[in-house]
Amino acid sequence: MRTFDSLSEREILALAISLEEDDERIYGDFAEGLRENYSATADMLEAMREEESGHRRRLIELFRQRFGDHIPLLRRNDVRGFVNRKPVWLMRPLPLKVVREQAASMETETRVFYERAAARTQDAGVRQLLNDLAQDERKHTERAEALERDTLNPDAREREDETSRRMFVLQIVQPGLAGLMDGSVSTLAPVFAAALATQKSWDAFLVGMAASIGAGISMGFAEALSDDGSLTGRGHPWLRGLVCGLMTTLGGIGHTLPFLIPDFRAAMTAAILVVVLELSAITWIRNRYMETPIFSAAVQVGLGGVLVFLTGVLIGGA
């Protein structure tokens, strides 16, 4: 997989053509999927598809002038920094909210790509075109927001995520939640297994600290290395890794600290109460920011926690 900084101007233009082709097809699928119930939004998406087609033609024309007729095959999956898109355009019925979020994400990603690409190119003609396309992507976002306010059914669900909130969820909440869930749930088994096996608070505390810190380091590196975020707006990878790692460690330490209580029974009782609070907090975050129904979130989180806790109890009591 190539890094963005290693691409030549020829490869940057080839990637830009590929991105416009993908976006053009996706907008077409979105328009088709919404045509029956949301004709105004479908018209907006169709207009955006036509503009992406125009961008593609301008890029191909410039490529031919600079580098000839052969365009190398270079896809988003070949370059580090892009996030794989879920094929939501294949869903039927097509959720309006999903389309709006996906379209906004696509425009942001493409705009950032053009801005970074323009900053790296030396050819004046190439830089001008890339800057023009970046400006067009900004206008797409503004026009989509204006048309959405004017044309959407007033009974349709209002957009719950403004741009700043979406970025906050993307860059902070998602990696933090992933870490908190991993730390709170995955460390239950070793902590309670050690506690029941040794019947000593201090031994359980040492195992819990080791498991929490180790899981935090592992999750932090995993999140930081998943993608560099430069083309997706997900933020700096090391910031996401730091958030994920710290929340993983925090999730594990929460039910580890009660084992500083010398009395084993009191420590176990306090630790179990902390686990309940941790799982409740995760349920609330999933409902508040990830829009998971509160009952579903509680069942999912609670089931996972109970299974891991029972694993620790069975192993520790063996």
What's residue 277's pLDDT? 92
pTM, entire model:
0.51
- The CATH number of 4-151 is 1.20.1260.10
Q: Which residues of 271-309 are buried (b: 16+ CB within 10 A; e: fewer)?
A: beebbeebbebbbebbbebeebeeeebbeebeebbeebb
Q: Residues 136-170: pLDDT tens digits?
A: 887 776 666 665 555 554 554 443 335 446 667 77
Residues of the chain predicted below pLDDT 70: 83-84, 92-93, 141-167, 227-235, 318
How many angstroms separate the CA atoms of 274 and 156, rounded? 40
Q: Which residues of 157-179 are buried (b: 16+ CB within 10 A; e: fewer)?
A: eebebeeeebeebbbbbbbbbbb
Let me know how long the chain is.
318
The CATH 1.20.1260.10 domain(s) of the chain lie at 4-151
How many H-runs (helices) and E-runs (strands) does the chain carry? 11, 0
How many angstroms separate the CA atoms of 110 and 75, rounded? 13
